[in-house]
Amino acid sequence: MHSAAYPALRLRRTRSSAWSRALHAETVLTPADLIWPLFIVEGEGVEQPIATMPGVSRWSVDLIVERARDAAALGIPCLALFPYTPEPLRTDNGDEALNPDNLMCRAVRAIKDAVPEVGVLTDVALDPYTAHGHDGLVDERGYVLNDRTKDVLVAQALNQARAGADIIAPSDMMDGRVAAIRAGLEADGHVNVQIMAYAAKYASAFYGPFRDAVGSRGRLQGDKKTYQMDPGNAEEALREVALDLAEGADTVMVKPGLPYLDIIRRVKERFEVPVFAYAVSGEYAMIEAAAAAGAGDRDGLVLESLVALKRAGCSGVLTYHAPLAARLLAR
């Protein structure tokens, strides 16, 4: 039996009309695939634009609630929250992370009271709270202490869960923290609170604007290479994912997104679990810079990059372009 050849087989036939392209689409992106990261700041009625992320702002809690209402109207199912901690509250030990009335907890409660149908994902790491900008407690040499940090992260996760967080997302990359957080949540009765582990988080140059957004860039002492992953490593990412799943993670994340499509694909194929990607601040800023320079169409760049992440194996994507993408997809 011979395989079909031109002209019997014309691959352009199924591309010849819009209805046919829609019918044959292999990857379909919807607003339900999006998680919208938002930055919280003290005050009321406050919006602070972030210079390195054009179109993104920090919002006070009352305006974060309005963003949650926007998300519900757009069909975006989940928000990810990150606080901008005031300078006087930043300490070497990140004590404000454990305050039940901190910015994060107040925002979670306000969102769940006003828009309970929208999910809330909270970041578990100490960098928004520490004076030195690291994700954990450090010794006199500046080395982040794994096990002491892990104990604080459990307390931070419980603080957020008690405020109403739906997903706890540890982004710190400490060894053993997923098991410790899962045990803590179970013991405290939060059996349905999910853990989305930042399982393969790379020591990336794409995080700069985010550090501006949470106020940690200028204060960071050294770098994060002793706990975040080497960008050249792939097998190590699979080991990290395997450990986090064994310790009780419900879902796993690869961060950043587009520079690590190969990692997303390998994780999905190896483990067959829900995989998420974070299209990080540097990725957002590059698209915005390209659009501002006239080098590309913003709408097209946003949707194509999100489709690429989903095609690689993502169940969903954290993206600052979530509201734009949702509006485009609703057309």
- The amino acid present at 146, given as its one-letter code, is N
**Which DSSP string do the residues of 217-257 spell out, in sequence order?**
TTT--S-STTTSBPTT-SHHHHHHHHHHHHTT-SEEEEESS
The three-point CA angle 63-119-70 to 5° equals 40
Residue 224 appears among annotated catalytic residues: no
Name the catalytic one among 201, 224, 268, 310.
201
Are the beta carbons of 187 and 139 closer than 8 angstroms?
A: no
Task: Give Cβ neighbours of residue 25 (< 8 Å, ≥ 6 apart).
Answer: none
Name the catalytic one among 224, 255, 268, 310.
255
**Which DSSP string do the residues of 8-59 spell out, in sequence order?**
T--TTGGGSSHHHHHHT-S----GGGEEEEEEE-SSSS-EEE-TTSTT-EEE
Task: Give Cβ neighbours of residue 318 (< 8 Å, ≥ 6 apart).
Answer: 35, 36, 37, 80, 253, 276, 277, 278, 279
- 253, HSE (Cβ side, Cα atoms, 13 Å): 28
Are the beta carbons of 50 and 212 closer than 8 angstroms?
A: yes
What's the CA gap between 1 and 217, in Å, rounded? 64
Task: Give Cβ neighbours of residue 244 (< 8 Å, ≥ 6 apart).
Answer: 178, 197, 199, 252
How buried is residue 303: exposed, middle or buried, by Cβ count under 10 Å (0-12/13-18/19+)?
middle
What is the C-alpha R_g of the chain? 21
Q: Would you please indicate which residues are annotated as catalytic (active-site) residues?
A: 201, 255
